[in-house]
Structure 1
Amino acid sequence: MVSFARSAAVLCLGLFVAAPFARPQSPAATFAPLLPPAFSGWTAAASPQTGSDPAAADAANASVLKEYGLKDFATAEYGHGSTKLKIKAMHFADATGAYGAFTFYRKAEMHPDDVGKGGAVDSHEAIFWTGTTLIDATGDHIGAEERAALQSLAFTLPQNAGPEGVPPSLPQYLPQELLDKATVHYAIGPDAYAKAGGVLPAEVIDFSRDAEAVTARYQTRDGNGILTVLEYPTPQIAGDRLKAIDVILKGTLPPSLQGGNAAALGVKRSGTLVVITSGGFSAAESEELRNAVKSQATLTWNHPEGYGNPVGREVKKTARLLLGITYLTGILGGGALLLGLFLGGGRALIRVLRGKPPSTMNDDDFISLKLR
């Protein structure tokens, strides 16, 4: 009974000491609606219409939205005086889907705008993405006032600081010199790739192997051409696709590759990347463009404080908790040892000073029944 009470006391003491190191419980997550009732002086005429069916969001491109991972959407009409804006918000599973959808819906005649993480505008439409959300706004006129209002709307959208908020890295491999940024298209499925003007047959890319594709136009001295960069999970898969694409380029060309300069056609592999050139490039320009795309290993280093990154903060909290448990175990173990030496040794010392044996087992006064 004494042993049980002593163990319970030690357990309570341990919980009390370890409490400062325990991970705080976060409140229940709350999710804001995709579109607010009002922003920056613009007020919705009615509650936003919502849904999750890609066909309801865009019937003509439902398969594309499915490939990009559409989760839900909302549409609403906002008014500011006599000016109207119809806004559609599409929420995707991650930033990869939001960015990909942005490159799919962006029109080549739009000019870049700094709203959100990336935007494009013309006189009647503005489109931008931020976090895992894509915003498409249309109206009679998109001017400076409307763009400023959309920027304020972007600030209200969740940014998703976790892994789902990280945009794809593949577009960063595109050489920036002579690049027409308005023609960059990123795809993770065959329908999005084909509808965005991909020049290769989707089956030869084989998106079932977790392929990613980015295409862009370049205006060189000798002509306008297309650079296609594919990324695969492993160099082995990339090598297999390289051979399949090379067979097509050296054989009967699909219609999308016909009519260009034969010297522009070429393919190379760099690590997990497969690079293809086509169009009006010269042979030298084509080779130079392919060689400018190089696969390189990327190491991401997080500052110990996390720099505002929740993942870094959680790792630090866990390390502190484990360190606190280690300290607590050492303190309790050392305390138990000192307590044992003090009580047991002190009692033995007192018995010796009284002229008795240190242990009661050798005491003449010890009562024993001596049962046989």
Structure 2
Amino acid sequence: MADLTTRITRKFQLYIWCMVFISLPCLSAKCLNVDISVNLYPEGTLKIKYGEPLELFCVTDSNYSASDIHFINGRNNKNMDSDIVNSTTRRLYIAMPEKQLTTFYCRNNKTKKVCLARVLVDSPPSDVTDFNCISKNVDILNCSWTRQPSFSIIRYTLTYSVNTLPVNPPCVPTQIESTVYCVWKTNSMPRYRQQEETQFFDMTACNAVGCNSQNFTVDHFSIVKPDSPYELKILKYGTHSVYLEWKISHNIVDFLSCGVDHIIQYQLAKVDNGTHFRTVDTSNLPARNRTYRFHLMDLPYAHMQYDLRIYIKSKMAKSRQYWSDFAYKHFTTLSEEPMRPPTIISGAFDQYTRGNE
């Protein structure tokens, strides 16, 4: 069986070579229609999918022979081994060329003339592995990823779907260095669908040798980064407590059905290290309110300056990057009457009792 396969393969190869010998005499030695006594076939840019062979023919006219021409690799300017096909033609064959974008030259040694061809060997775009989206306050949706390495330009399109139907037109992304991204807003075309709990995306990436398609599913409310709370104020001051009030964005209240978590932190302005904040329990705060109030108690000192910070995030968010920026307030607690006189060192004062006169 193996011998039969070998005989068939050899017969097929002979058939191909016969066809080459028949057709090559009609090949012209004009390089891009300029008669310089040498030419390369195929002309122009040869695009090869990685894993397929590279085959080039160098042809001269009848005034010269195949011994007068040779191939040159433009990356190192070295001559390349090739086979003589007929009296005026050489063949360069590489069964498994590496990925590259290289210029190959066919040179006539007697006339010193050269003809060139660009050879691209590449794979279709590989899968994107770091597709990531972030929603800015359920107002702007930005999805980004890293451009995959390639010897040719990769063109991406990204389309999101609603109820399995693509929403057109697709996004043609912007690229800054190796980062590629698409942005949807409430006034873009198509617009940002703020109410959808799950976002579905279809990506197509194409380069010179092929395309690759991928699908991504994004848990929408887990990638929302809210705006910071605003209108933070103190409704009532105490010696060891303050009564706080703040508001959160309409978008967060209206669209974020899961609600938000809070972090409330404070530090003693003149005592604590600038990076050290004390965190209080906020588990009793409701998940969805337009306006929040909180009684911050058990502050350690009266008549003390404090720095206050409040953050919020979607209850669905898991990563630290989705916490909002903080709202900030600086306040001073009320003074109180001392509970006892100051402690003194024994002997520090000279006591004198004055009798009745």
Q: TM bucket by the smaller chain? A: under 0.3
TM-score calculated relative to the size of structure 1: 0.18
Structure with the greater alpha carbon radius of gyration: 2
More strand by share: 2
Structure having the higher helix fraction is 1
